[in-house]
Amino acid sequence: MALSKEKQQILRDDVHNIRVVAGPGSGKTTLILEKAYDLVKKGVPPNKILIITYTNKAAEDIEKKISKRIKEKGFYVSTFHGFCTRFMREYPSSFKEYRGFRVLDELGQLLFIVKWNKLIRTESTQTIEPLKLRNYFGRIKDNYSKEEFKKIEHPIKESYFNYCDKLYEQKRMDFGDLINFVSNTILQDKPLQKIAQEKFDYIFVDEYQDINNNQENLLKLFLKPTTKLMVVGDKNQSIYGFRGSDIRIFESFEKSFKKTKSYLLTKNYRSTWKIINLSNKYMELTDTTKIIGNSDKEDGQLTKEGNKITIKEYPDKNKEALETITQIKKWKEEHKINNFSDVAILLRSVKGDSQRFIEVMDKFDIPYEVIGDGGLFELPFIQAVLDCYKQLAEKDKVTNEYLEIDLDRFDISDKISKGPLAIYYKIIEKSKRLQQAIRDNDEEVLTNLGKFSKIISTYCENFNFDRNGDYLLTFYNNLSRIDVEFLDTEQPNMEYNNSVKILTLHKSKGLEFPLVIIPGVNKDNYKLKNNDFISELFDYYTPKDDMRRAFYVAMTRAKQKLILSYYDNPAEYITDILGQQDLVFYEKYNQSRLFFEPPEEIEIESSEPEKETLELTYYKLIEFWKCPFAYKLRFHHDLLIPRTFMFTYGSILHSLLYHINLAIKNKEKYDIDAIIQEKVPRPLSHFNFRQLIENYPDTFKDELKQIVAIEKPFEFSLGDSIINGRMDLLVKNKQGKYAIVEFKSGTWDYQKEEHTRKQVNLYALSQNEHDITEGIIYFFGSGGKRIDFKITKKQTELEIYDAISKISLGKFGKDTRSCENCVFNEYPICPYNSSKNPNIQMDSDEEDEEKRDFCCEL
């Protein structure tokens, strides 16, 4: 791959800590990858390289690209939060205090605040909306230590510490806690401090302009004097100040680290010259900082001149929506665009402004994808489902014309006591319209049903439900009020290809589209509210500057054509560029063009969408091998089924073994009865765990002499997938060979043994630094049945490749042989499942595997 002179210089620089100022479309991800490849070629072991990204999707994409060029496994590629989770699991002796804690995502944090509202709030915070309160708590936690904040007098202080205390009491942690718990433990644990400093030789951090103070403090703990750091970012694309990111950290890099050098990447390989030049004018970039196109054939495709940027004025918002979608339809019919997926509509707020576009696209039968959970609540069938909950709370009959549903409360009474998610599946089951969508394999409907199931599932994790359904109105009111627009910073997956994408300016970061339309650029839509309760704690943050940069990010997503439009009064982002006549076409609705210019012909070259990276676990693979169609519903469309979040029999057994193995590894004395008394919750105390595990130390006396790792996490790339998980125990046997031990709480049968052999072989595939030759399976439920076998990775690898290929190609055929034990017996939304057994019992080991997959526990 040809690289620019600037990038070649960066590749050769092994002396400095490097800051790369990388403008939009400059190929910064390619640079990080090339630098990593170059280091491995020079002999640096992959496990000495850490790559930190801002989103999980970016991490998956980088890991997949690395695996296609480098066979060696072991790279650390993740977000800050993902890295902290992995580090805590790798060194369990140092983090025993947090064993069993569950990590809340941002929706989980919001619902946690809603649940414990009365205990968290004080008189000073009574009127603050829960979403804002969550945001304030996050910003404080990301930038202040507890000791620092205790010294500050502020009205939010008491509520903040109430929130922190309640999290710890409930064995929950948010993303900020992950960072702080790891940092604080390293600072207090001298052996761990040494491990952290010696762990990596090279660290890369992408999107460094969006870092916060506590992330920078964590980063410094992993730097020894010889560790080389490379950060990549662009202060003009810093858009998350409202979440606590501090742009000053990027700007002061050369003061914060020794022996530094900065490089500037200004060449944009994405956009046309017209888009590049207008974005430069918009940001008032100087000659030294402005972005340029590519004029060097040796450095890739040459930048085209391109169309002028179109600015359109409309008399009202409905005419803006109608003409925008009409124009997209016309371009598609005239083959000016080849695929609807070439078009993105970027909005300030999906929740507040997408409905008018959705209605017109529904009318014209244009496929679309609303990206971001906020837009879910604008979809007609999601609004209809919410209406069903409201009716169920208020009366004995549920009817909805849109869903084609007519349901008596009696028909759903068995699901009411099981909570809102069980009711959700009853609504899907009884809705003729939704059942038809499942039979027709309607990707749009199925994907959005899955997204909504995740929101309901997160709610269920945080609230209890009475048997008579008194919770229903509270559930409806809470869900209706939740504005999840900015809860998720994750770079979105494109779930179905041939569809117009509707997303926010912020969500568009990291993406690119041939044709970008930014409508509704009005003063009212872009008005900034001056009601930041904690603004004095972050005096460097200016919301106006953040929003201006967000608009710049949105403009620079366009590859070939950019259209801006407004009604009523234009926002300043429009007025600032209207005078650029050489770059801009101005049109007024139903009037001739200003400056009497003829209309430009456009023809969009389609971009081939990249294949999404599959994220797999062994449990998901087992489910695919059982029935591909059930896998499709559960994991491709993420239709989450109701499940218990209480401790399971299997998870308790694994917890007891964890603490016994930890004591043995650390050469500490232990008392099995004391461990049982401390770790077994009262509802499960009737199980005779003592009898189950009392012979375990003798059965494994040779292996337990040389424990290498307990519940070791792993992640590796295979084909187009990332496979992750945790192995129960990694040991050296008496012959000095490495062996993986897998514990099963249930009883032995032949099929379970075969599945578990595959499971252990998959775990062996993940290991690069250890040559695994032996596997051991131990079934506690069969009086302690031990099975030793030789590792045979090749056959398992071929079977996994076959599964990945079928999943990637969308081969989700039904297998009715598995219907009898399928979870869709109890929640019968599958059109192929004719089994009459609604009360299946999940195997205890499968239940434990699922719990590990879905609950983000440490």
Do residue 457 and residue 546 come from a single domain? no
Count of C-beta atoms within a 10 Å radius of residue 272: 22
Residue 552's H or E segment, with its range, is helix 543-555
Shared domain for 527 and 418, answered yes or no, is no
Measured from the Cβ of residue 166, the count of other Cβ atoms closer than 10 Å reads 16
- Max mean pLDDT among 12-26, 368-382, 707-721, 782-796 falls in 12-26
Picking from 449, 481, 513, the residue at the C-terminal end of a domain is 481
Determine the pLDDT at residue 395. Answer: 81
Q: Rg (Cα) of the chain, in Å, rounded?
A: 28
DSSP readout, 511-535? --EEEEEE---BTTTTPPP---TTG
Residue 188 lies in a domain: no
Question: Which one of 481, 510, 529 terminates a domain?
Answer: 481
The CA distance from 299 to 3, in Å, is 6
Parallel, antiparallel, or unpaired for β 228-233 and 260-265? unpaired
Confidence at residue 216, expressed as pLDDT on a 0 to 100 scale: 97
pLDDT at 734 over 80: no
**DSSP codes, 434-496:** HHHHHHTT-HHHHHHHHHHHHHHHHHHHH----TT-THHHHHHHHHHH---TTT--SPPP--S
pLDDT confidence tier of residue 574, bands split at 50, 70 and 90: very high
DSSP secondary structure of 192-220: HHHHHHHH-SEEEESSGGG--HHHHHHHH
Whether residue 63 is found in the same domain as residue 211: yes
Order across the sheet with 76-78: list the strands: 76-78, 49-52, 202-205, 228-233, 17-22, 260-265
Could you tell me the residue range of the domain that residue 364 belongs to?
Answer: 304-371+498-596
Distance CA 513, CA 558 (A): 5
Q: Same structural domain for residues 510 and 429? A: no
Distances (CA, A) of 723 to 50, 60, 713, 764, 765: 18, 10, 11, 12, 10
- Looking at the domain assignment, is residue 49 inside a domain? yes
% of the chain at pLDDT higher than 90 = 62
Look at 123-132, 153-162, 477-486, 619-628 and tell me which has the smallest mean pLDDT: 477-486
How confident is the model at residue 370, as a pLDDT?
86
- Boundary-marking domain end, from 173, 206, 228: 173
Residue 237: pLDDT over 60: yes
Say yes or no to pLDDT of 209 above 90: yes
Token representation of residue 445: 């409907």
At 844, is the pLDDT very low, low, confident or very high (cuts 50, 70, 90)?
low
Residues 752 and 786 in one domain: yes
Please report, as a single letter, which amino acid is at residue 644: T
pLDDT at 518 over 80: yes
Query: How far is the C-alpha of 46 from the C-alpha of 387, rounded, in Å?
Result: 53
Sheet containing 558-567: which strands, arranged edge to edge?
A: 368-370, 500-504, 343-347, 513-518, 558-567, 309-314, 584-588
Cα–Cα distances (Å) from 7 to 27, 43, 74, 533, in that order, read 10, 21, 25, 43
Could you tell me which residues are beta bridge partners of residue 566?
313
Looking at residue 166, its amino acid is K
793-804 mean pLDDT? 93
pLDDT value of position 486:
44
Compute the distance between CA of residue 787 and CA of residue 779 in angstroms, rounded to an integer: 9
Q: Are residues 361 and 221 in the same domain?
A: no
Binning pLDDT at 50, 70 and 90, where does residue 711 land? very high
Q: How confident is the model at residue 288 (pLDDT cuts 50, 70, 90)?
A: confident
Quote the tokens at residue 217: 């403090």
| CATH code of the domain covering residue 809 | 3.90.320
* Residue 552 belongs to domain with CATH number: 3.40.50.300
Assess whether 668 and 796 both reside in one domain.
yes
Domain shared by 722 and 618, yes or no: yes
Q: What's the token pair of residue 313?
A: 């004025």
Whether 656 maps to a domain, the answer reads yes
Mean of per-residue pLDDT scores for the chain: 89
- Within a domain: 282: no
CA 849 to chain CA centroid, Å, is 20
Are residues 415 and 506 located together in one domain of the fold?
A: no
Residue 599 binned pLDDT confidence (cut-offs 50, 70, 90): low
| pLDDT at res. 613 | 81
For the chain, the domain total comes to 5
Rounded to 5°, angle at Cα 853 from 83 and 679: 90
Residue 192 lies in a domain: no
Please name which of 28, 507, 63 lies closest in space to residue 269, comparing C-alpha atoms. Answer: 28
> Which of 232-236, 583-587, 746-750: highest mean pLDDT?
232-236
Residues 198, 734: Cα–Cα separation, whole Å: 30
- Please give the average per-residue pLDDT across 317-330, as a whole number: 96
Paired strand residues for 76? 50
In a domain, 328, yes or no: yes
| 578 found inside a domain | yes
Q: Which pLDDT score, from 0 to 100, does residue 834 have? A: 73
- Note whether 357 and 383 are same-domain residues: no
Q: For residue 15, give the 3-state DSSP assignment.
A: coil
CA dihedral of 473, 478, 483, 489, whole degrees rounded to 10: -130
pLDDT for the residue numbered 646 = 47
**Do residues 111 and 88 both lie within one domain?**
no
pLDDT, tens only, 251-284 = 999 999 999 999 999 999 999 999 999 999 999 9
Is residue 434 predicted with pLDDT exceeding 90?
yes
Angle between helices 80-90 and 175-188 (to 10 degrees): 50
Report how far residue 851's alpha carbon sits from residue 855's, in angstroms, rounded to the nearest whole number. 6
Distances (CA, A) of 193 to 185, 189, 198, 232, 764: 9, 6, 9, 26, 29
**Is residue 753 a part of any domain in this protein?**
yes
Q: Are residues 32 and 18 in the same domain?
A: yes
Give me the pLDDT at residue 751, please: 86
